[in-house]
């Protein structure tokens, strides 16, 4: 009997203890106040809003300013636009903003890009860059002979760079243009068949009055991506490009100016003329582009675009 009573007593104790624990667990949520939950959530919500506002403020501060400039006196009645992208001042100085934002054919300014990619890909080897002339007589006497990279760039030899671009190939070219955010990145007219001004396959391409388009403002941005501090291109490539792009001392600039001209015609009339590049200053380089469009009764040339650019750059740097 004692064993039975002891067993029953133990069972009663166990049951009693279980009831107490259950009662305590059920009571716990009622004892826990809800206020701390609300208190902890509210500061987190405020923090998120504050960070978002600060982020927006920082983004606004980093966006370059755009100032409209009256540089009409430099153009002498020619239809045109000019853009200077001043990284040190974090601003664009723009003449004729509508035209500066209009995409046009880059023409021979694209030789900066084909040279860049050709050098990076090992298609242009500076010490072994001579290509053989086909014997075809071209309108530019400088192109009628075997020619190397430096002379081809400076004389804007189309057949030389047509060969370089064909060797780069469409897939690599498309990838590189997208990397540079180069205008509309449209190389669909690879052979340049849209250009009705010239039927010679050696002298046509997507960059000459064809599918590829870029605005003067975008030209300056591309120059900064190539030659700026965040450039991803090799030092050897950049130095070689600078060597062939530098204007000779005869232009009398106090600072080194680097650039490339370009010109395109339709039905024998010049409709696009360019000079784009950058200038080295004691602070940071400034990136520029001067564009000339069709001007009734006036002589539109890439040489004129270059001369206008040099004058604007010189005055801009002097008055900076």
CB under 8 Å to 25, separation ≥6 — which residues? Answer: none
Tens of pLDDT, residue by residue over 114-129, are 999 999 999 999 999 9
For the CA atoms of 245, 246, 251, 256, what is the dihedral angle to 10 degrees?
A: 140
User: What is the pLDDT confidence band of residue 320, given thresholds at 50, 70 and 90?
Assistant: confident
User: Residue 292 region, left (φ>0) first, then alpha (ψ -120 to 50), else beta?
Assistant: beta
Mean pLDDT, rounded, for 37-46:
35
Question: Using CA atoms, how far apart are residues 268 and 154, in angstroms rounded to an integer?
Answer: 23
Query: What is the torsional sign of CA 109, 112, 113, 114?
Result: positive
Tens of pLDDT, residue by residue over 73-117, are 999 999 999 999 999 999 999 999 999 999 999 999 999 999 999
Percentage of the chain exceeding pLDDT 70? 81
pLDDT at residue 29 is higher than 70: no
Tens of pLDDT, residue by residue over 186-198, are 999 999 999 888 8
Mean pLDDT, rounded, for 185-212:
94
User: What is the pLDDT confidence band of residue 285, given thresholds at 50, 70 and 90?
Assistant: very high
Phi and psi at residue 89, in whole multiples of 5°? Answer: -90, -10
pLDDT of residue 289: 98
Q: Which residue has the higher pLDDT, 266 or 37?
A: 266
User: What is the pLDDT confidence band of residue 61, given thresholds at 50, 70 and 90?
Assistant: low
pLDDT of residue 250: 78
Closest listed residue to residue 295, CA positions, set 75, 124, 112, 123: 75
pLDDT at residue 36 is higher than 50: no
What is the pTM assigned to this prediction? 0.81
The first and second tokens of residue 193, run together, are 């068949």
Mean pLDDT, rounded, for 48-55:
42
Give the domain ranges of the chain. 2-58, 65-318
pLDDT at residue 222 is higher than 50: yes
65-318 CATH choice from 1.10.287.130, 3.40.190.10, 3.30.70.3190, 3.40.710.10: 3.40.710.10
Q: Which residue has the higher pLDDT, 319 or 128?
A: 128
Q: Which residues of 51-72 are buried (b: 16+ CB within 10 A; e: fewer)?
A: eeeeeeeeeeeeeeeeeebebe
User: What is the pLDDT confidence band of residue 297, given thresholds at 50, 70 and 90?
Assistant: confident
For the packed helices 170-180 and 216-227, what is the interaxial angle rounded to 10 degrees?
100
The first and second tokens of residue 225, run together, are 């991506």
pLDDT at residue 131 is higher than 80: yes
Mean pLDDT, rounded, for 247-257:
86
Asked if residue 275 lies in contact with residue 289, where contact means CB atoms within 8 angstroms, the answer is: yes
- Alpha carbon 37 to chain centroid distance? 49
Asked if residue 313 lies in contact with residue 288, where contact means CB atoms within 8 angstroms, the answer is: yes
């Amino acid at each position: 009997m004692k064993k039975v009573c002891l067993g029953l007593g133990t069972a009663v104790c166990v049951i009693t203890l279980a009831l107490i624990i259950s009662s305590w667990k059920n009571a716990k949520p009622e004892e826990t106040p809800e206020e701390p939950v609300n208190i902890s959530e509210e500061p987190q919500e405020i923090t998120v809003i504050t960070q978002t506002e600060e982020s927006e403020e920082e983004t606004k501060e980093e966006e370059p300013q755009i100032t409209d400039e009256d540089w009409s006196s430099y153009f002498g009645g020619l239809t045109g636009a000019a853009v200077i992208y001043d990284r040190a001042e974090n601003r664009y100085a723009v003449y004729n903003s509508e035209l500066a934002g209009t995409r046009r054919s880059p023409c021979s300014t694209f030789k900066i890009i084909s040279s860049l990619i050709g050098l990076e890909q090992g298609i242009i080897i500076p010490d072994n860059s001579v290509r053989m002339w086909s014997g075809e007589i071209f309108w530019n006497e400088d192109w009628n002979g075997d020619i190397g990279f430096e002379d081809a760039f400076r004389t804007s030899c189309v057949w030389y760079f047509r060969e370089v671009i064909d060797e780069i190939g469409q897939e690599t070219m498309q990838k590189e243009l997208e990397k540079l955010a180069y205008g509309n990145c449209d190389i669909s007219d690879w052979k340049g068949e849209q250009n009705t001004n010239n039927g010679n396959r050696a002298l046509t391409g997507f960059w000459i009055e064809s599918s590829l388009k870029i605005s003067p403002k975008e030209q300056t941005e591309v120059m900064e991506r190539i030659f700026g501090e965040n450039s991803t291109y090799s030092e050897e490539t950049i130095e070689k490009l600078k060597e062939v792009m530098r204007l000779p001392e005869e232009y009398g600039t106090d600072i080194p100016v680097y650039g490339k001209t370009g010109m395109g015609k339709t039905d024998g009339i010049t409709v696009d003329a360019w000079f784009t590049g950058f200038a080295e200053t004691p602070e940071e380089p400034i990136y520029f582009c001067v564009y000339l469009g069709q001007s009734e009764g006036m002589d539109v040339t890439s040489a004129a675009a270059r001369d206008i650019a040099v004058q604007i750059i010189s005055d801009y740097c002097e008055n900076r």
